[in-house]
Amino acid sequence: MARRSTAAKKQQPEQLWLVDEQPRLDLDQWYLDPELARRIVDWVIDQRDTPARDMVVLEPSAGRGALARPLVEFGAQVVCVDIDPRNVAALQRDGLDAYEGNFLEMKPIGPSFDAVISNPPFSNGLALPHILHMLLFAPHVFVHVPLTTLAGQDRHAQLWTQHDLEAQVIHSTRPKYGPSGGMTEMTTLHIARRGTPTNHVLHRPKVYFWL
């Protein structure tokens, strides 16, 4: 069950990234570059027919809110979840609706969200269970994950026979997560629920190539 963090000390927004900055690798934290995150959000808005101001969006594994912040600027209502209390406290200090908890242990209650957007943990096969859980919360999921998420028997059986790949961004350069740069070939996917499971591809996804 997610819960509100009670971490308190007041902090200026410009100091946010200077305090507790080091990501916890045991939680598979890789923070998106703000410029890339904003570009992803622009792409997500273009993918949806619904104006951003009418969207209710869930961001699990929210980190420091690289995706949530531009969504809020667009006028979307965003709910953030993160397992790290440092991140939740930082998000709340900046006025975002943020809750502390393990997303994989949460259950959807009431109406679903319009969409889920996330840069989820992906080491040791974590991307797949996160994506499948996101699809319980919204009909449209936008995730920034390794290219390997597209392939494999488990992913085919659990994901692609049940849901559709609507669109894909191929990143021609490895996104930079820190001073050492990225080490994984990444892609950003738009995945949608399918009404009836099938082993057949129902349509061709749109593919975008970003330099």
- Per-residue pLDDT 10s for the chain (211 aa) are 444 433 333 333 333 443 456 655 555 557 788 899 999 999 999 998 889 999 999 999 998 899 999 999 999 999 999 999 989 999 999 999 999 999 999 999 877 899 999 999 887 788 899 999 999 999 999 999 988 888 888 888 899 888 999 999 988 776 655 554 556 788 999 999 887 555 555 567 899 989 7
pTM: 0.83
**Residue written as token pair 């709340």:** 92
Please calculate the CA angle 12-17-19 and round it to the nearest 5 degrees: 80
Q: Is 172 exposed, middle or buried (0-12, 13-18, 19+ CB in 10 A)?
A: exposed
What's the CA gap between 184 and 133, in Å, rounded? 23
Q: Is 128 exposed, middle or buried (0-12, 13-18, 19+ CB in 10 A)?
A: middle
What's the CA gap between 139 and 191, in Å, rounded? 8
89-125: b or e for each residue (b if 16 or more CB lie within 10 Å)? bbbbbeebebbbbebeebeeeeebbbbbbbbbbbeee
Query: What is residue 23's predicted lDDT score, i.e. its pLDDT?
Result: 57
What's the CA gap between 104 and 74, in Å, rounded? 28
